[in-house]
Amino acid sequence: MKFYDCKTAPSPRRVRIFIAEKGLDIETVDIDLRKGEQMSAEYRAINPNCTVPALVLDDGNILQTTAGIWAYLEDLHPEPALLGATALEKGRIADVRWKIEFAGLMAMAEALRNSVPAMKGRALPGPDDFEQIPELAERGKQRVQLFLDRVDTMIGDKPFAAGDNYSVADIDLMIMVDFAGWLKMGLPKDADNAQRWYEAVSSRPSAKL
């Protein structure tokens, strides 16, 4: 197997952390997004979406999204279960994770990609070029702030984002909080549940990756 990664980007970090939590050792190739390596003919042959992560399997099959790679690796290596161990846990984790992706990660991408000069003409990832829309950056920032303010309630008194066990919901939420730091936004200082949770997940060895 070969994992196509990018050390500076949030989405492939979701897979890096997942691989580390499973204790797997997978050959890794770094695609430098800052140099535009995702747009090269070689990489398009692996992932025509021009995005990372991607996972090339030994039989030549290719998985081209975080969710696809997670599902595949979880099935091959069920322990520890990161997508949920029981039917209810699987459902809860999928619910929470989608909320984090939609209201957190997508809002953050909207804010960043529509504002930073380095992403001029590249307001969406993928093979097609789109111009930035400043109003979307503003709306994205408002959505990120609303999301960060609600993390405390989302965590409540649970140890982890979707319940008693560490899961992909924690991976996505931690990455979202770190990603928000790029726009100097963060969890409210007095959000005790959110701060307690963030400290716990960030101190796991996988979080350093």
Ligand X SMILES: N[C@@H](CCC(=O)N[C@@H](CS)C(=O)NCC(=O)O)C(=O)O
Q: Are 92 and 84 in contact (CB under 8 A)?
A: yes
195 binds ligand X (CB under 6 A): no
Residue 156 Cβ vs ligand X, minimum distance, rounded to whole Å: 27
Residue 5 Cβ vs ligand X, minimum distance, rounded to whole Å: 10
Q: Which stretch binds ligand X (CB under 6 A): 47-55, 162-170, 183-191, 193-201?
A: 47-55
Residue 169 Cβ vs ligand X, minimum distance, rounded to whole Å: 15
Rounded to an integer, what distance in angstroms lies between the CA atom of residue 161 and that of residue 172? 10
Tokens encoding 143: 């959505």
For ligand X, the closer CB: 50 or 73: 50
38 binds ligand X (CB under 6 A): yes
Rounded to an integer, what distance in angstroms lies between the CA atom of residue 205 and that of residue 87? 28
Q: Which stretch binds ligand X (CB under 6 A): 21-29, 50-58, 145-153, 156-164?
A: 50-58
Q: Are 24 and 62 in contact (CB under 8 A)?
A: no
For ligand X, the closer CB: 125 or 140: 125
Q: Please provide residue 63's backbone torsions phi and psi, each rounded to the nearest 5 degrees.
A: -105, 135
Rounded to an integer, what distance in angstroms lies between the CA atom of residue 83 and that of residue 167? 6
Residues 6+ apart with CB under 8 A from 181: none
Q: Which stretch binds ligand X (CB under 6 A): 8-16, 75-83, 130-138, 183-191?
A: 8-16
For ligand X, the closer CB: 108 or 191: 108
Give, as ranges, the residues between 84 and 143 that touch ligand X (CB under 6 A): 122, 125
33 binds ligand X (CB under 6 A): yes
Q: Are 180 and 148 in contact (CB under 8 A)?
A: yes
